[in-house]
Amino acid sequence: MGYQYKRRKMTAEINVVPYIDVMLVLLIIFMVTAPFITQGVDVQLPTSSDAKTAADIADKSGESSFIIVEVSADGRYRISIDGGDKIPVTAQEMALQVKAALSLKPKSNVMVGGDVNTPYQGIIDALNILTQAGVESVGLMTEPAA
């Protein structure tokens, strides 16, 4: 009597358990890191009925230096540093001037204002340029309520 060997059929099934484990680990990693991913700058949105004046902001921060960026309805920029004249600038010139002003006075307050008819995209573009220039905090300018 000899040994009899049973031949087992080869199965071509994929074991999906390790793939599910990897996917769950990736899901957990994305869920943990998602709150830390932020875009843009911290924007302080004053309401028109409770808006603070420039003097109040200067007293609070201890710095009276202001950089004001205005966005016109057609998307053009004007910049004023420390109450100077409003100079028309391109996006690149605005970034360079803001970087230079912040290198001289790092605690300068940066304000962005727009015409009533300025598209929201124009304000966002200005905020993106200011972010790239190293601005950490931006105030939005409004008119006081009548």
Looking up residue 109, the CATH number of its domain turns out to be: 3.30.420.270
CA dist., res. 53 & res. 16, Å (int)? 63
Which residues partner with 43 through β-bridges? 138
Q: Is residue 101 part of a domain?
A: yes
- Number of structural domains found in the chain: 1
Q: Is residue 121 part of a domain?
A: yes
Q: Is residue 20 part of a domain?
A: no
- How far, CA to CA in Å, does 133 sit from each of 15, 40, 63, 102, 128? 51, 12, 20, 9, 9
pLDDT tens across the length of the chain (146 residues): 566 777 777 777 888 899 999 999 999 999 988 877 754 434 333 445 555 565 555 555 555 678 889 888 888 888 988 877 888 899 899 999 989 888 888 888 888 888 777 888 888 899 999 988 888 888 888 777 65
Burial class (CB in 10 A: 0-12, 13-18, 19+), 75: middle
Domain that holds residue 78: 42-140
